[in-house]
Amino acid sequence: MKIPYYPGCTLHERALDFDKASRECANVLGVELEELPVWTCCGAVFPLTTDSVMEILAAVRNLAYASRMGDKVVTLCSFCYNVLKRTNKVMREDGERREKVNLFLRADTETRDKIESFLKEDYVGQVDVLHYIEMLRDVVGFDKMAKHVKTRLEGLRVAPYYGCMLLRPHGEMKFDEHPEQPTIFEDFLTALGCDVVDFPMKTECCGGFQIVRDEETAIACSQTVVASAVKRDADLIITTCPLCLYNLDRKQKEMEKRVSGFRKIPVIYFTQLLGIALGIDDEHLDFSDNYVDPRPALAEKNLV
């Protein structure tokens, strides 16, 4: 089965490990992630001002490319997912902005050259934006996924971190039935055999992009999250977002400096964990970029 895939810039630059692991897992599960032939940065943040047109143009272009390839587009990064999904809603429901955006698209000669044919019709929200985990649940099925598991991750205590962008705004994202107590990653982890660690900070913010402006503030946020998982004896945290990973993992270096007796905890992408369970080769599961090396924790449970 082929599904159009929008990686987003971070997965092509700093989060190659995420991209690689996710593609490999998909392959094992019989899904081919078919990367859009052309795509651009989605803009990273969805503009919350009602008059924004230029700010969503990039995201619409990507959606329009995807609409040529199928009726879905899968993405991995929480930020991309949020931007694409919310932009899609604008294109479906906000007639005025839709018209303006399509005007731009029609005038956009560069785009026209690249993808002559899609311009035959306006983009009006034809594709459904899917997160990879939704694809696992709804397209593959967690039970089918579980059948591919080579190594059940018994005894591994995993804390699933959702963060903000997958869940909010709930009315638009509809990512999980219970915005305050989501369970999709819990179900995913259970299917892999893990011990799920429920921790109250799983839907709290990691500090987001504030990390590049006001490190102190953002670290305070991410430390709250990390400490909460550590307190509940998690072996590791999983996430879906390169920025969350950066804040929660890389910034543990700073946390160590600031907090006495700070206990580190590895943070990895959920598809890396899935890769381990599916028995994917080490060469595809690269943890060299992680500040806190997950391998010791995994080794302890004989998983690497």
Partner 1 sequence: MRLRLSGEVIKDDLVKRVEDLSGQNIAMCYQCGRCSAGCPVADEMDILPNEAIRLLQLGQIEEVLDSKTIWICASCLQCSSRCPRGVEFSSICDALRAIVLRRRITTPSVDAGDVSRVMRTDAPQMGVVGALRKLNG
Partner 2 sequence: MEHRIGVFVCHCGSNIAGVVDVKRVAEQLADYPGVAYSTDYLYMCSDPGQNMVKDAIKKHSLTGVVVSACSPTLHEATFRRAGAASDLNQYRVEMANIREHCSWVHRGDKEKATEKAIKIIKTMIEKVKQNEALEPISVPMTHRALVVGGGIAGIQAALDIANAGHDVVLVEKSPSVGGHMAQLSETFPTLDCSQCILTPKMVEVSQHPRIRLLTYCEIDDVSGYVGNFKVRIRKKAAYVNRDVCNGCGLCVEKCPRTVASEFEEGLATRKAIYTPFAQAVPNKPVLDRDNCTYFESGKCGICQKICPVNAVDYEQKDEFIEEEVGAIVVATGFDLYPVVNIGEYGGGSIEDVVTSLQFERLLSASGPTGGEVRRPSDGKIPKEVVFLTCVGSRDPENHVSYCSKVCCMYLTKHAMLYKHNVHDGQAYVFYMDVRTGGKGYEEFYQRATEEDDVLYLRGKVSKLFEEDGKVMVWGVDTLTGRKVEIAADLVVLGLAMVPNSTAVELSKKLKIQVSEWGFYSEAHPKLRPVESLAPGFYLAGAAQGPKDIPDAVAQASASASKVCALFSEKEYHREPIVAWIDEDECSGCKVCISVCPYDAIEFDSEKGISRIQEAICEGCGACIAACPSATIQQRNLTDSQLYKMVSAALED
For binding to partner 1 (CB under 8 A), which residues are involved? 8-10, 13-15, 41, 43-45, 47-51, 55, 77, 79-80, 164, 167-170, 179, 204-205, 207-214, 216-218, 220-221, 224, 242-243, 246, 250
Stretch in the footprint of partner 2 (CB under 8 A) among 58-66, 100-108, 113-121, 175-183: 175-183
**Nearest distance from residue 76's CB to partner 1, in Å?**
12
Please report, for the chain, how many H helices and E strands are present, in that order.
Answer: 15, 8
Binding partner of 243, given partner 2, partner 1, none, CB within 5-8 angstroms per partner class: partner 1
Give whichever of 29 and 221 is closer to partner 1, judged by the CB atom. Answer: 221
Q: Which of 219, 108, 230, 217 is nearest to 157 (CA)?
A: 230
Structure tokens at 270: 């959920």
Q: Is the peptide bond before 169 cis (omega within 30 degrees of 0)?
A: yes
Binding partner of 255, given partner 2, partner 1, none, CB within 5-8 angstroms per partner class: none
**Nearest distance from residue 50's CB to partner 2, in Å?**
19
**Residue spans of beta strands (DSSP E) within 221-296:** 236-239, 267-269
Give whichever of 46 and 123 is closer to partner 1, judged by the CB atom. Answer: 46
Q: Give the per-residue contact string, 178-207, with partner 2 (x = CB under 8 A; - = no).
A: xxxx------------------xx------
Q: Please, is 227 exposed, middle or buried when counting C-beta atoms within 10 Å of its C-beta (0-12, 13-18, 19+)?
A: middle
Binding partner of 224, given partner 1, partner 2, none, CB within 5-8 angstroms per partner class: partner 1
Binding partner of 217, given partner 1, partner 2, none, CB within 5-8 angstroms per partner class: partner 1
CA 75 – CA 120 distance, rounded (Å) = 25
**Nearest distance from residue 182's CB to partner 2, in Å?**
9
Question: Cα–Cα distances in Å, from 121 out to 64, 86, 107?
Answer: 10, 21, 13
Give me the residues paired with residue 91 across strands.
none
Interacting residues of 68 by C-beta distance below 8 A, sequence separation 6+: 115, 117, 118
- The sheet carrying 236-239 orders its strands as 195-196, 157-160, 236-239, 267-269
Binding partner of 242, given partner 2, partner 1, none, CB within 5-8 angstroms per partner class: partner 1
Q: Per CB under 8 A, does 263 bind partner 2? A: no
Q: Which of 111, 116, 81 is nearest to 240 (CA)?
A: 81
Stretch in the footprint of partner 2 (CB under 8 A) among 47-55, 176-184, 215-223, 238-246: 176-184
Structure tokens at 114: 């690249």
Question: Which one of 12, 231, 253, 263 is in contact with partner 2 (CB under 8 A)?
Answer: 231
Q: Give the footprint of partner 2 on this chain (CB under 8 A).
A: 178-181, 200-201, 228, 231
